[in-house]
Structure 1
C-alpha cells in the first residue's frame, strides 16, 4: 500500500529517459511506460484526484527542454516536477559539464518559481559501457554540480550514480543507452524513496548471470554496433534526432492509470 503524500499534480520533463524509451507498453500513452509513469501510477494510488503529465521527448538537448518544456510545465501548475536534462549534452565530446550545469540551474530556478517540489537526477555511473564509459569523468563532474544546485534551490536529488544495481546488464535495453523495463522499475523505486514515499514496488532479486565467453561477448558487441551504434552516429552526422516530429505523450495532466486499469 502506498502511503499518503502531499502531492496531487505531477509533471515530468526531459528526454528519452523520462519518456520511457526502453520500456515498451501498449497500454501506456505513447506506447512506452518508463519510470515516470510508474512513479505517477504509484503516487496516484493514495490520491484519487492525482493528475500526471509527461512532456519529455526523446533526443532533446538541454536548451530544447528549457525552450519547449519549462513554460509548458509551469502552465500545468504542478506541485511536484521531475527533471532529467543535460545527459544528451554531456555525452557530446565538445561540451563543458560546468557550462551545462549553469543552464540546468536556470531551469531549476524557473521550475521552483511557484514553489513546486523539484526532483533532479544525477547521471548513472556508465564506466562499464563500451562507448559512453569514455565520458564517465564528465558525468561525475556534472553530478557534483547538480548536487550543489539541489542544495541551493532546496531540490531533491534522485541519485542514479549511487544505484550499483545499474551495473547489471539486465537493467539496460538492447541499445545499451536506455533502460530496460527492469531498469525503469528499479529507478521508479529509487525516485519514490527519494520522495520518502513507501510503496509496494518489488525489489529486484536477480539470478546470477552466466559468464559469457570472450567470443560470444565480441559477437554481441559487433551486433550491437551494427544495429544501434552506427545508426546513432549517422543521426549525429546528419544533425538528426530520434525525437524529430515526436510530440509529448502526455501533454495534459490526467489520470496516471494504465489503459485497462
Structure 2
C-alpha cells in the first residue's frame, strides 16, 4: 500500500528552526578533532544533501514550524527544548500551541545528579513525554554506571527514553552506542521503555532480534530519509514488528519535510503497518492516547 496521506501523524523527532545551527551543537565541538567537522554547520552534514538552511532574522521560527506541521498532516510533534539552556522559541511554541507539541528532555549523563534534577524540573514545568541522550556525543556508553540512575528515574516517572544507537554521524567513536549494550540495559530494567534512534546501523539485524526479545524495546526512523530505511527494519515491520517501529523525522537538523514525505511514497510497508508506524505506536509509547 502506498503511503496514506490521510493519517494524522505523530512526529517523535523535531527541532526548532534556528538562526545559527552551530549554536545548537556547540556541546559537541570539544569532541570533534578533524578540520572538516569544525567547518560544518552541523556535525553530520556530510551525510545529508539539501540540509535546511538557517533562518533569516525576519522569519518567526515557531510560525515556520507550525506551517510545516500543517502542510504534512502532523498532528502532534515531540519538540526538543535544548540541552543546557531552554530554547525560548521552543518554550513559546509549547505555550502557544499546547495541542500540537509535547517535549523531550535531553540530558548529559556525565553529571548524573544534574541530569536528574533537570529532568524533574522540566517535568514540573513542561508537557514532558520522554527523555533523550546521545551516548557517543557525551562519551558515556549505554550500559555505563552513570546511566543507571537515569534509567531508574525514567521507570519511576513512567517516561520512555530515546537514545541514539549505532554508528553516529558526527565523527566521534561509536563504541558507546553499540547495539549489543542494549541487551544488558533491558535485562536490568525490564520496566523501561527504550526507543532506539538514528538507525542502529550496521547492527539492524541485532536490533531486530533484541526487539523480538524485549517487549519494551522500540525503533524509530529518526535521521534517515525514507529512501534509506534499512531493509531489515522494513521487513521486520511487515512481519512480526508492526507494533515496534515508530516514525521520526529529522527536521530541521538534516532533512526537510518535503524530502521526507516525497520519499515516503516509495516505502513498501503493508497496509496494516502504516497507521501503527505513523501514529499508533507513538501514541502508545508517549502515552498520548
**TM-score normalised by the shorter chain: which range applies?**
0.3 to 0.5
| Structure number having the greater helix percentage | 1
Question: Scaled by the length of structure 1, what TM-score is found?
Answer: 0.41
